[in-house]
C-alpha cells in the first residue's frame, strides 16, 4: 500500500472526511497536502494524530495545522518506501521472525511440493496479502486447470479476466499478458521510462494513468505443460524474461517438478524458489537446487530461496480461510467506494 493510500485509509478509519490532495517534494522532505471537508473535525488533527501517523508510516511524521493541513516526512524514507514496491508476508521462520519478500527483487516464483504439502494454501495466502495491502494497484490473472482452487476468485474486482480453466483460455490469457507487456514497453519508451516504477512515479498526479501490477498465478504448471508444452513454454518464457520491468509477476505451482515439466531454460527465469514437502531428493534438487525438501513435515512447512541468495530459509506458512479472502475483497470494495466518494466531495469543496 502506498503512503498516500495509508494516510487516506487512516482518515477513513477515523471517520474523518479528509483526503491527500497532492504531495510536494524537496531534497530533504516530502509534504502531503490534506483537504478537510468537515471543519468540525479540525480538533482531531493534534499531537495524538501525529504520533499515530508516525506509527502507520513507519517514520517520524510532522503534522502542521495552519493556513492548511500538511503531513511532512523525510524524503529519503519516502523514496526508499517507493522503491520497495510490493511486499508480502509469507509466514514466520524458525526464529519467529516474519518472512517478507519483495516482488521488486523477486518477480517470479516457482512453488513446488507434493499433494497436501501446502502449495495451494500458500498461493491463497499470497493473494490475501496482496488484496489486504495493495488492492487498488494490482490485478490478477489465474490459471487453474484443476478447476477446484481458484474458482472463488472469479468475482474479484481486481481480476483482469475470468479464471482460465482449460488450455484454450490459458493460452489466450498468456497471449493477452504478452500483448499487455509489449504495449507497456512501447508506452514507457515514449515516456522516457525504464520500468513501471519510473512510469507510475512520473504519472503520480494522474491516478487514472498509472499502470497496475499484474500477477499471473498458475496452479499446477505440470498439467498445463502436459497438454501443450511447446506453446505454453514459449509464452511463459517470454513473460518470465521480460515481465519484471513492466510490472508483470508470475507465480507457478506444481506437484511434479520433473525435468519434462521444467526445462532448464524455463526454470532459470524463476528468481525465487519455494519448496514444500516433496517425495524425493531429486524433486527437492529440481526446485531449490539442493536437498532438504524431502525432510519437511508438510502442512505449510517450507524452504525459500530468494533471488541472489544461496542460503535456504525455513518458514511456516500462514493458512487463510476462504472467508478471510472473500471478506477482505468485500472490505476493499467498500473502502474503494468510500474513498471515491470522499475524493469527489473534496474536489467539489475546492
- pLDDT tens per residue, range 209-246: 889 999 999 998 999 999 999 999 999 999 999 999 99
How many angstroms separate the CA atoms of 112 and 270, rounded? 12
Residue matched to cell numbers 511434479:
256
Q: What are 155's three cell numbers?
A: 468475482
Maximum Cα–Cα distance across the chain: 68
How many angstroms separate the CA atoms of 91 and 315, rounded? 6
Residue 112: name the closest of 233, 293, 306 by CA.
293
Give the domains, in start order, of the chain with CATH numbers: 3-81+330-349 (3.30.980), 85-319 (3.40.50.300)
- pLDDT tens per residue across span 29-88: 999 999 888 888 888 898 889 988 887 787 889 999 988 899 999 887 777 666 567 888
Q: What are 108's three cell numbers?
A: 517470479
DSSP assignment letter at 212: P
How many angstroms separate the CA atoms of 249 and 211, rounded? 13
pTM for the whole structure: 0.72
Check residue 174 and give its pLDDT: 97
- pLDDT tens per residue across span 321-335: 655 555 555 555 555
Other beta carbons less than 10 A from residue 251's beta carbon: 22
For 15: left if phi > 0, alpha if psi spans -120 to 50, otherwise beta; the answer is left
Amino acid at each position: 500500500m502506498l503512503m498516500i493510500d495509508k494516510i487516506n485509509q487512516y482518515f477513513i478509519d477515523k471517520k474523518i472526511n479528509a483526503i491527500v490532495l497532492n504531495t510536494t517534494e524537496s531534497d530533504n522532505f516530502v509534504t502531503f497536502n490534506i483537504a478537510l471537508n468537515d471543519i468540525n473535525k479540525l480538533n482531531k488533527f493534534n499531537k495524538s494524530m501525529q504520533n499515530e501517523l508516525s506509527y502507520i508510516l513507519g517514520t517520524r511524521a510532522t503534522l502542521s495545522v495552519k493556513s492548511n493541513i500538511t503531513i511532512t516526512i523525510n524524503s529519503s524514507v519516502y523514496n526508499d518506501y517507493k522503491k520497495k514496491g510490493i511486499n508480502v508476508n509469507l509466514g514466520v521462520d524458525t526464529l519467529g521472525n516474519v518472512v517478507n519478500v519483495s516482488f521488486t527483487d523477486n518477480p517470479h516464483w516457482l512453488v513446488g511440493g507434493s499433494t497436501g504439502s501446502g502449495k495451494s494454501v500458500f498461493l491463497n495466502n499470497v493473494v490475501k496479502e496482496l488484496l489486504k495491502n495493495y488492492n487498488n494497484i494490482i490485478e490478477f490473472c489465474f490459471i487453474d486447470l484443476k478447476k477446484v482452487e481458484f474458482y472463488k476468485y472469479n468475482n474479484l474486482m481486481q481480476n483482469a479476466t475470468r479464471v482460465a480453466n482449460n488450455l484454450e483460455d490459458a493460452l489466450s490469457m498468456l497471449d493477452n499478458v504478452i500483448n499487455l507487456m509489449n504495449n507497456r514497453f512501447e508506452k514507457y519508451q515514449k515516456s522516457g521510462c525504464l520500468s513501471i516504477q519510473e512510469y507510475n512515479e512520473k504519472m503520480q498526479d494522474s491516478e487514472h494513468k498509472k499502470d497496475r501490477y499484474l500477477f499471473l498465478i498458475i496452479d499446477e504448471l505440470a498439467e498445463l505443460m502436459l497438454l501443450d508444452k511447446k506453446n505454453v513454454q514459449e509464452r511463459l518464457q517470454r513473460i518470465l524474461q521480460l515481465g519484471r520491468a513492466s510490472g508483470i509477476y508470475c507465480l507457478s505451482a506444481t506437484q511434479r517438478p520433473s525435468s519434462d515439466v521444467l526445462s532448464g531454460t524455463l526454470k532459470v527465469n524463476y528468481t525465487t524458489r519455494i519448496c514444500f514437502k516433496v517425495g524425493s531428493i531429486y524433486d527437492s534438487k529440481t526446485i531449490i537446487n539442493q536437498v532438504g525438501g524431502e525432510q519437511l513435515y508438510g502442512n505449510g512447512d517450507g524452504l525459500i530461496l530468494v533471488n541472489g541468495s544461496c542460503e535456504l530459509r525455513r518458514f511456516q506458512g500462514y493458512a487463510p480461510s476462504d472467508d478471510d479472502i472473500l471478506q477482505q475483497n468485500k472490505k476493499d470494495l467498500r473502502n474503494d467506494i468510500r474513498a471515491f466518494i470522499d475524493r469527489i466531495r473534496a474536489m467539489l469543496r475546492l
